Amino acid sequence: MQGHRRRRETQRSSATSIRGFTLIEVMLSLVFLMVTSMALLQGLELAFRHYSLAQNRWKATVELWNQIEKLRATHSPRGEPLQIIPDSRPLYRTLLTDPRLGEHSGWEVLHSEK
Amino acid sequence: MKNKGVRNAGHTLVETMIASSISIIVLAGFFSTIGVFQTGSSNLSLLLERDANLWLAPLLLSRWIIPAGNNRWNQSWSGVTIDTDRLELKSDIDGPGGFPDSKLSSSFEALALRSSNSNLRVQSNRGSFQPLIKNIVEFKVDSKESGLLSIRLKTVTDRPLSMTEEDLSESTELLFFLRNYRSNLFPENP
């Protein structure tokens, strides 16, 4: 009697060990795989977008730097003289507007007489 | 006995075929995504490295070019000298106690810059040319009107990017106004 019961338990446990995955488990793992793939691609896209943003900002900075240096080199100062240190030669203020930032924004450049 | 037979029956051929097909499709999709991700991140890394080199150049160049010359009334050297693809900068920026000493003996007071073997190289005083910024394939210096110095830099990636055949060089032009050749803020008379 006892031997018969033990044999039945052994059969049950071997049947359990080879049952494989249920449909729900398979579906969940597929969903997880898809979410991981999408997250990787979205992360990559975000990284490229940040890179592009940084590159554009750098280009704009260089452009502005060049514009300021050109202005200091070629333009005669105009407007109200500004003496920031006593007995020094006066400086002049010029406003450089940046069309990308709108009409009311700009950069104030100080330059001296040529 | 019947139950035991059903439990151990396994899958039918059709079930196995369908499961295999779905697995192949899903795994192919996953690995192609991983491939795209790897290629993209490797390309991005190359581009960032290229731009980091280029973005470093203005910081160093402006640090050295702007004080060159300094317009001191008794200065016996020319601040900026342009040779073919070579720029020489001399500025008395250091000395005992951090003040100028009318000598060009300290480090980085007499510099020469040039590009060779895809590197921007610098020579300080009488030393030899050392690599400063890598992957700079072009370094052109030009003196424009009104004391403007133009420097054109061209940089490339370490190796070609995967899955693209574009020309991936990046170039930029930097202008420096040599204000030191103009009057200083204070009159300089002996």
In a domain, B133, yes or no: yes
Contact yes or no for A65 and B58 at CB 8 A: yes
In a domain, B15, yes or no: no
In a domain, B26, yes or no: no
Distances (CA, A) of B43 to A70, B46, B48, B131: 36, 5, 9, 25
pLDDT exceeds 90 at position B8: no
In a domain, B28, yes or no: no
In a domain, B34, yes or no: no
In a domain, B127, yes or no: yes
Give chain B's length.
Answer: 190
Please give the Cα distance from B153 to B141 (Å, whole number). 9
pLDDT range class, residue A11, cuts 50, 70, 90: low
pLDDT range class, residue B99, cuts 50, 70, 90: confident
pLDDT exceeds 80 at position A21: no
Nearest C-alpha neighbor of B85 from the set B151, B144, B148: B151
CB B112 within 8 A of CB B30: no
Domain of B158, in residue numbers: 42-181
- C-alpha neighbours within 13 Å on the C-beta side of residue A106: 11
User: What is the value of pTM for the model shown?
Assistant: 0.74
Mutate to test the interface with B, among A23, A37, A51 (most CBs of B within 10 A): A37
| Strand arrangement, sheet containing B119-124 | B80-83, B86-90, B110-116, B119-124, B130-134
- The number of distinct structural domains making up chain B is 1
Contact yes or no for B182 and A11 at CB 8 A: no
pLDDT at B62: 86
Q: Rounding to the nearest 10 degrees, give the CA dihedral for residues B25, B26, B29, B31.
A: -110
Please give the Cα distance from B1 to B113 (Å, whole number). 90
DSSP letter string over A36-91? HHHHHHHHHHHHHHHHHHHHHHHHHHHHHHHHHHHHHHHPPP-SSEE-SSTTSPPE
Q: Tell me the chain B residues in contact with residue A36 when contact means C-beta distances shorter than 8 Å.
A: 30
In a domain, B25, yes or no: no
In a domain, B119, yes or no: yes
DSSP summary character for residue A100: G
Please give the Cα distance from A61 to B118 (Å, whole number). 25
Question: Looking at A11-25, A91-105, B58-72, B123-137, which range is the least confident one?
Answer: A11-25
Mutate to test the interface with A, among B146, B161, B170 (most CBs of A within 10 A): B146
pLDDT at B190: 46
